[in-house]
Amino acid sequence: MTNLLRLQQLAKLLDITRLQDDETEQSFAHWLQSLADIQSAAYCVYPQFLAALQQWPQRKSGMALATVVNFPSGDLAADQVCEQIIQARSLGASEIDCVLPYKALLRGAHGAVKHFLYDVRQASANLCLKIIIESGELVTAQQVAKATELAIESGADFVKTSTGKVPVGVTEEAARIMLTVIAAAGRQVGFKASGGVRTIEQALSLVQLYENTTGNIATSQYMRIGASALANEVALKLLQQN
């Protein structure tokens, strides 16, 4: 693909993300006004800002509204997370990014993780469900693979690398392991790279890794990249190319 086609492809894969811990209504409104005019896959914000996003006149139609639950610690009980999902749905969310209880996985409590993921899938019903495995906190390749397998077995639509709230976000090694498991699944499962994706080159490298490993062309149906500042950089590059 030419650089222009790759940039156009990348733009459509972005989940434009805003998950600032000190966010206020004013700072969120300022962020909205700073967003590039770009058609991407989704917006991803905290639940309390979904209403402001829906009412924003410049919001791009066709872009999904995503939010996070069990975020970022992954420590909440399943019933609490299911309540968060129900609330998010009522606020207009069409996609749920849920943190897997990765500390339980590290303890080897795979059964508990499986039951949690089943409950979350049931509560999400027809919403797009992305399970965040927090790959940077998983110690071994086997744990990354196991977390990905459990997410897939539970019916997740996507497996996502990271919250962006721990020191290690997406790495090429973790992405490769996750994509290898996804490629071997008996159904189509999406992959979302997030946590420290800050440059176009890094994002395009992840897209290439997805395509090489799965044998599929990356589209927003099965490939996403969560990023905050990247959307504006992609939009600027596209303007320069045209």
Q: What's 126's domain CATH number?
A: 3.20.20.70
Tokens representing 73 are: 């610690």
pTM reported for the whole predicted model: 0.97
Which amino acids are annotated catalytic? Answer: 97, 160, 192
pLDDT on residue 229: 86
Tokens representing residue 154 in the block: 């539970």
Could you tell me which residues come within 8 angstroms of residue 75 by beta carbon, excluding any fewer than 6 positions away?
Answer: 101, 103
CA 51/CA 93 separation, integer angstroms: 10
Q: Count of domains in the chain? A: 1
Nearest to 50 by CA among 68, 35, 34, 37: 68
* Residue 57 lies in domain: 3-241
| Rounded Cα–Cα distance for residues 125 and 142 (Å) | 29
Residue-level pLDDT, tens digit, the chain, 242 residues:
569 999 999 999 999 999 999 999 999 999 999 998 899 999 999 999 999 999 999 999 999 999 999 999 999 999 999 999 999 999 999 999 999 999 999 999 999 999 999 999 999 999 999 999 999 999 999 999 999 999 999 999 999 999 999 999 999 999 999 999 999 999 999 999 999 999 999 999 999 999 999 999 999 999 999 998 899 999 999 988 87
In 3D, which of 174, 213, 226 has the Cα closest to residue 67?
226
